[in-house]
A and B are shown apart, each in its own frame.
Chain A
Amino acid sequence: MLSILCRRANKFATTSRHARCIASLSALPETYQMLYKTCRDFAEQELKPNAANFDRNHLYPGDAIKKMGELGLMAIATSEELGGTGLDYLAYAIALEEISRGCASAGVIMSVNNSLYLGPVNHWGNEKQKKEFVTPFCTGDQVGCFALSEPGNGSDAGAASTTAKINGDKWVLNGTKCWITNGYESKASVVFATTDKNLKHKGISAFIVPKPISGLELGKKEDKLGIRASSTCSLIFEDCEIPKENILGEPGLGFKIAMMTLDAGRIGIASQALGIAQASLDVAVEYASKRMAFGKPIMKLQAIQNKLADMAVQLESARLLTWRAAWLKDNKKPFTKEAAMAKLAASEAATFLSHQCIQILGGMGYVSDMPAERHYRDARITEIYEGTSEIQRLVIAGQLIKEYGV
């Protein structure tokens, strides 16, 4: 099995010095194993014991985020010259999964900063923008956010109603963005606004907005089902003026920037979902090994074994899809379809595994004494943000049909 995957991977890897086989962690180069250990140890010691408290009290884990910054986790794929760690997306996927396994909220905060904020600014920013908006956001002291969704359009991203008009040497932003992760704590945001309504989605541009800024008000912090330690709120722009130089890339490039950024972000969210799923499997197996029923630990009962097997298969398939998408991105191959597949598989795995985990724990799964209920609540959002499962299916089908050329 392993060799088949290696050969398939090699089909793409003519000159890749990277992992010749990505089927298991132990087959990867030492660097990945060392960073896995750092992230796992950190998550076990600093995140896992505090995750329930962060969740119960909606506490932004500022200290943990700062420590994650010191470990180099808040800017994994950012270049070393700019203050990042200079590693690749496979490293990012592995690191993010381990962090999310400890605390899903810390995972999403890390993911949004890495993929949705630093991603586009690194790729389309000019030198000045990178110095001001990348370097200070690598240390965990400051985080960024990504403002695309609006009350009137989520999946329908091309219908952005937030506008940006030139007024002298300033852009003036008007409109509302909602569901913005890191909305409260972020010190800058990548914001998408329509600069030319006639061009439809080709008339959307991207901007970097420092926060706080006059003309930008934050809506109330949403009271969410899960990932409660991460803040989610609306950004309300009322004649908000930003310097002309704060446009990211060219006018009209915004939609493309958003779509390409989300491609990479999907690998991040897939990794977060894997972390939640793995945490659920760990809880389920541990409990099943101890809980006695009908004279033996329930893990010896077929009904439970069937569940555990199904959970493991879904989790490991999703992980392979995620690592494959990361590997393709790192090797500069197209990865849109694969990233969508990873996100779809991993998010559905997270909801399936956390659901079955509660089922295996029975009554204990329903109370907050065990983390199962938190994993269930945390998992749910992974099928929604950064592209709903329905959108992922459209992306996958679209790419598939193109491949067949029909």
Chain B
Amino acid sequence: MSRVLVGVKRVIDYAVKIRVKPDKTGVVTDGVKHSMNPFDEIAVEEAVRMKEKKLASEVIAVSCGPAQAQETLRTALAMGADRAIHVEVAGAEYETMQPLHVAKILAKLSQDEKADIVIVGKQAIDDDSNQTAQMIAALLDWPQGTFASKVEKSDAGLTITREIDGGLEVIKTKLPAVISADLRLNEPRYATLPNIMKAKKKPMKKVSAKDLGVDLSPRIKVVSVVDPPVRQAGSVVPDVDTLVAKLKEGGHV
């Protein structure tokens, strides 16, 4: 049976109205409601379902971030993960942490913990990078099934249905493998009150990026963060000819 490692990220809650910081270095995060990245919730749910179907023996949840990342990990534990690993990254290092750093951390942990399957959400809703799963697979030289909308066990590996622009693509991979969860993979369960209580007793280990031999020096610098331009009012035209003329004028056709 497989051991599954799930990466979860603490992000600003999807329902919050984002505000850009006046100094344009980023968005306001202080005092703002945070929760688990929705695609990571789907990833945790898939891992727990694998355990319930006896395809997996253990689910390990991992999060890289400041102390508050432990809240996100406890949510994963309340959903059914067996244990958690908090890779503590705080302050300036956290501000400049990028998918490549996270990928290196998760890759190292997957090796240390002898994971057979790594599942992460397809992208985080704050940076929309959609890179971590792919980078983990490349670093470990494992096959990858990204944008997964269905994962099934088959022979000695997995059959993964991927959502791509043209429709659905079905691939088969050997194990070990990396999966990134897409929206329709499953519907995450609610953390039941008894499980929330049980989560407090499950083990959570704390490590640092340095312990894992990962250098967190940034390779990308954020120059500025600004609001998208305010949408300009449109205008109503009397007929189709005027419309075509205006489009040609604006260089759109």
Contact = CB atoms under 8 A, between A and B. Distances in A.
Interface string B58-78: 000000000000010011001
A23 B74 CA distance: 24
B35 A85 contact: no
Task: Give the interface SS of chain B, mostly helix, strand, loop or mixed.
Answer: helix
A127 B191 CA distance: 30
Interface stretch (A28-36, A259-267, A282-290, A378-386): A28-36
Interface residues of A, number: 20
Contacts of A34: 74-75, 78, 191, 196, 199
A137 to B, nearest CB: 16
A76 B192 CA distance: 11
A334 interface: no
Nearest to B188: A41
Interface residues of B, number: 14
A297 interface: no
Contacts of B35: 37
Contact of A71 (B71, B74, B190, B200): B190
Interface string A56-95: 0000000000000011110010001000011100010001
A72 B194 contact: yes
B243 interface: no
A180 B228 CA distance: 57
Contacts of B191: 34, 37-38
Nearest to A72: B193
A73 B74 contact: no
A42 interface: yes
Contacts of A85: 193-194, 197
Contact of A70 (B78, B192, B197): B192
Nearest to A42: B190
Contacts of A86: 194, 197
B193 A38 contact: yes
A72 B189 CA distance: 14
Contacts of A30: 71, 74
Interface in A7-61: 30-31, 33-35, 37-38, 41-42
B193 A35 contact: yes
Interface string A154-186: 000000000000000000000000000000000
A38 B197 contact: no
A92 to B, nearest CB: 10
B74 A80 contact: no
B192 A72 contact: yes
Contacts of B190: 38, 41-42, 71
Contact of B200 (A31, A33, A42): A31
Contacts of B197: 31, 80, 85-87
B104 to A, nearest CB: 30
Nearest to A70: B192
Residue from B71, B197, B199, B200 having most chain A Cβ neighbours under 10 A: B197
Interface in B172-192: 190-192
Contacts of A37: 35, 191
Interface string B190-222: 111110110110000000000000000000000
Residue from B71, B191, B192, B199 having most chain A Cβ neighbours under 10 A: B192
Contacts of B199: 34
A30 to B, nearest CB: 6
Contacts of A87: 193, 197
A70 B192 CA distance: 7
Contacts of A42: 190
A215 B198 CA distance: 44
Contacts of B200: 31
A76 B193 contact: yes
Contacts of A38: 190-193, 196
A70 B199 CA distance: 16
A38 B71 CA distance: 14
B194 A80 contact: yes
A139 to B, nearest CB: 11
Contacts of A35: 193, 196
Given A71-B192, A71-B193, 20 more contacts: A30-B71, A31-B196, A31-B200, A33-B71, A34-B75, A34-B191, A34-B199, A35-B193, A35-B196, A37-B35, A38-B191, A38-B192, A70-B192, A71-B190, A72-B192, A85-B193, A85-B197, A86-B194, A87-B193, A91-B193
22 contacts: A30-B71, A31-B197, A31-B200, A33-B71, A34-B191, A34-B196, A35-B196, A37-B191, A38-B192, A38-B193, A41-B190, A71-B192, A71-B193, A72-B192, A72-B194, A73-B193, A85-B193, A85-B197, A86-B197, A87-B197, A91-B193, A95-B193
Q: Which 6 A-B pairs have the closest CB atoms?
A: A72-B193, A85-B193, A71-B192, A34-B196, A72-B194, A38-B190
